[in-house]
A and B are shown apart, each in its own frame.
Chain A
Amino acid sequence: MMQASRARLFKEYKEVQRDKSGDSDIKLSCDDTNIFKWTALIKGPSETPYQEGVFLLAMTVPEQYPLVPPQVRFVTKIFHPNVHFKTGEICLDILKTAWSPAWTLQSVCRAIIALMAHPEPDSPLNCDCGNLLRSGDDRGYQSMARMYTRLAATANKGNH
């Protein structure tokens, strides 16, 4: 089991090295000593309150990977309805029930960027944020999200 996941992760690693210039919004790196631990720096998508922010994701890959999804959470604080404000847990179907080995760590990052641009307020992990959007207070949501992006996800005040 472990061998299979290691082999797959090694392929992903090689792919990331080969394709370094490919996706400038995602910087995936693997822990030097443990191929089951990865981090990613993702750029907040433009025309969202996350733009200009850079967010750190921590990825823990289980031994049964790629039959089961990686565990991914935001390390950088983010105000988003589908991200737990305290733990950084992400509510995204492909990280739960809709996972398949056709996804990769790289494409998971792309899906998370897409989730940042398209919040799903009806299934919130951050209820305060979800409620702002559900009640139509887009301005409130935008300003809170932008504030946290500035506080936590920009270079001078960032936590990484």
Chain B
Amino acid sequence: MDGSCDGGDGVVDAEWSCYRDDDIIQQQNAIQAEEALKIPFVGDKESLSALAAEYKTGSSILKAKIEVLDELYVAIRRTRGDGNCFFRSFMFSYLEHILETQDEAEVEHVLKNIEQCKKALLDLGYAEFTFEDFFSIFIELLESVIPGRDSSISIDTLIERSRDPLVSNYVVMFFRFVTSGEIRRRTDFFGPFIMGVSNGTVDQFCKTSVEPMGEESDHVHITALSDALGVPIRVVYLDRSSCDVGKTEVNHHDFIPSNCLLKEAGSETIEPSVVLLYRPGHYDILYPRLRSETPSL
């Protein structure tokens, strides 16, 4: 940690010296509140043509890629670009999947992994009272999407809860704790990757780039979260990279944890149920077409 703000240095305009950090934070909050009006934490499901519309006058590579995406995916659900979009997208996509499949075995599996995450944090020296509230809010939400329980909820309620600042932010923070715990627990594995993206230690990386709200997620975060919970994640990349020959392809990367349930069941090809669309700096949720659905032309 360090002191890292600039207060009225002699070089800076006198006018600026009147601004205190609190004022700056207040202004940032105001900007965030304004952004919040534009898009909720988790948006509505939109057809893929909404994505195409964004790039009408855009690069031809992107337009071609969106056409490819249209063959594979039927819809998109946007999340707010507040630095928490990966965690927020993951939250909704995963819970919606559980709600639709009613996969109780999966829930059991994840609950077991969450118990491990809790142990890991305690072993790392985290005080239980600092993280338990975040854990219980997620567990409550997870259990509510399973049927036959008194508290089971509909998709509309899931959307509502995902837009509720308390629930939504607490779940994001739950994922941040889980991610940080996993990275710290496996310092030897993650250390070299972290050295490549920051110049600090694993500890510093977790303190400054994982645990604080609003810090963006990258490959390291996704790997850690997917491994810790045992949930596979597919990230589809929509960027301007292109191959020189042949037809346009859209790259994707699958994050497959070694302990995921599908692997245990001996499934050879794993199709992650959580599919996210990555555009540089932002993650949204993608909905794969069912095999029976033919693409609209």
Residue positions of A touching B, CB distance < 8 A: 1, 4, 7-8, 11-12, 15, 66-67, 71, 81-82, 84, 87, 89, 91-94, 96-104, 111, 114-115, 119-120, 123-127
Contacts and interface: CB of A to CB of B under 8 A. Distances in A.
B22 A125 contact: no
24 contacts: A8-B129, A8-B133, A67-B173, A71-B22, A84-B7, A87-B20, A89-B22, A91-B3, A93-B208, A94-B1, A96-B21, A100-B211, A100-B213, A101-B134, A101-B173, A102-B131, A102-B177, A102-B180, A104-B127, A115-B1, A115-B3, A123-B4, A124-B3, A127-B7
Contacts of A12: 129
B87 to A, nearest CB: 13
B240 interface: no
Contacts of A15: 127, 129
Given A92-B1, A98-B1, A101-B134, A123 B212 contact: no
B208 to A, nearest CB: 5
Contacts of B97: none
State the 3 A-B residue pairs at the shortest beta-carbon distance, nearest first: A100-B211, A82-B3, A120-B3
Interface string B125-138: 01101110110000
B283 interface: no
A67 B133 contact: no
A100 B176 contact: yes
Contact of B166 (A4, A84, A89, A101): A4
Given A91-B5, A93-B1, 10 more contacts: A1-B165, A71-B22, A82-B3, A84-B20, A100-B176, A100-B211, A101-B211, A115-B1, A119-B3, A127-B7
Nearest to B165: A1
Nearest to A118: B2
Contacts of A98: 1, 207-208, 212
Contacts of A94: 1
B126 A102 contact: yes
Contacts, number: 98
B9 interface: yes
Nearest to B132: A11
Contacts of B295: none
Interface in B1-38: 1-10, 20-22, 25
Given A1-B166, A101-B131, A102-B177, A124 B9 contact: yes
A100 B1 CA distance: 12
B8 A123 contact: no
B33 to A, nearest CB: 13
A67 B4 contact: no
A123 B6 contact: yes
B218 to A, nearest CB: 17
B166 to A, nearest CB: 5
B90 interface: no
B73 interface: no
Which of B6, B7, B165 has the most chain A CB atoms closer than 10 A to its own CB?
Answer: B7
A100 B129 contact: no
Contacts of B169: 67
Contact of B2 (A66, A71, A120, A127): A120
A31 B296 CA distance: 64
Contacts of B4: 91, 93, 96-97, 120, 123
Given A123-B6, A127-B8, A91 B129 contact: no
Interface in B169-199: 169-170, 173, 176-177, 180
B177 A92 contact: no
B1 A114 contact: yes
Given A87-B20, A89-B21, A96 B5 contact: yes
A128 B55 CA distance: 53
Contacts of B165: 1
A134 to B, nearest CB: 11
A123 B8 CA distance: 10
Nearest to A81: B3
A108 to B, nearest CB: 10
B9 to A, nearest CB: 6
B184 to A, nearest CB: 11
B211 A127 contact: no
Contact of A102 (B9, B10, B22, B130): B130
